[in-house]
Amino acid sequence: MGTPTQQLHVVFGTGPGGLTLIEQLLARGHRVRAVNRSGSAPVPAQVELVAADITDPQAMRSVSAGAAVLYNCAHAPYHLWDELLPRLQDGFLAGAAGSGARLVVTDTLYMYGPTGGVPMTESAPYNATSHKGKLRARIADRYLQAHNAGTVQVAIARAADVFGPRVLNSALGGAAFLPALQGQPVIALGDIDQPHAYSYIGDVAATLATLGEHDEAFGRTWHVPTISDHTTRQMHRLIEQELGHPITGEVLPAVTEDAWGPFDDVFMREYAELFYQYLEPQIVNCQAIGDTFGLHPTPVREALRATIAWYRQLHSWQPRPARARIITPMMIRATAQRD
């Protein structure tokens, strides 16, 4: 196990995952360097904030110098994945190899493809039917091949749909909590009576930080502690109970490539091939991370309570007329850009 005292940990990406991870690392006594393209982010004063292009291998070698662990919390828009994800991977591998730092990668479930409700384990085969799932599978394989070749030390953390403070662009994000607070219908996808996996952002960050501290975590994939025993409708009912007033739903039952609700047509076209996730039970087995490191999902009510508190504070919620359409795509995008 690494020594959690004043090691330099470098977090790439300052969206919801990166910012939450930074808080975790500081609480564990690490020095933290945050890296994004702009060099601007709402990070604590003790965090070193650096601008760098992750797709530039030389820049990555420079910004990774002296680090014990690198964390890939960077994101790219779906329509740019083919172009950017391999280049981002090149940058991370160059930074880790050049500095000798270990690399912890945030990942999705897309490579597993449709499962028919069979619980996903870390050893499940890659049966992606989507282009994006096949791309994520190739990228994950390359990371582990680099580890096995001795080029870098890599650990991969896979999360389901993420929710929590700061998280806007997710299935249980701004399109659910904002309208719920405003007395509007919450937005949902697919069959909301199927079990669906949700990963709390605090559990994602705790997983990344824990993997970065343990030598035995490297060379494999881990599932983030994830809630899989609730349907989306049940999650809405829990939100309703926490708010203390009824909420209604606006559900897209089948795939479309047209703009819908707060989502524009570009997003819907890109997401169409992944819509299967909302038409079957989605269950994630996260026993390995619990058995090995004692990490378990935050109790769902506790997680929802923290999420609602964040939305209330950030948006200074006030009651509005029920017929007003409050949530807009521009609102979600503008708020996400601030994160």
Q: Please write the tens of the pLDDT for every residue from 176-211.
A: 999 999 899 999 999 999 999 999 999 999 999 999
What mean pLDDT is predicted for residues 62-72? 97
- Of 259, 251, 266, 247, the closest CA to residue 304 belongs to 247
Only one residue has tokens 């992606």, namely: 128
CB-based contacts of 303, cutoff 8 Å, min separation 6: 163, 164, 200, 202, 227, 297
Mean of the pLDDT values across residues 19-28? 98
Is residue 334 scored above 50 in pLDDT?
Answer: no
Looking at the domain covering 8-161+198-223, what would its CATH class be? alpha beta
pTM (2 d.p.): 0.91
C-alpha 313/C-alpha 331 separation (Å) is: 16
- Given this chain, do its domains 8-161+198-223 and 163-197+229-284+299-338 carry the same CATH topology? no
* CATH of span 163-197+229-284+299-338: 3.90.25.10
Mean pLDDT computed over 279-299: 98
Average pLDDT rounded to a whole number, residues 136-153: 98
What are the residue boundaries of the structural domains of the chain, listed by start?
A: 8-161+198-223, 163-197+229-284+299-338
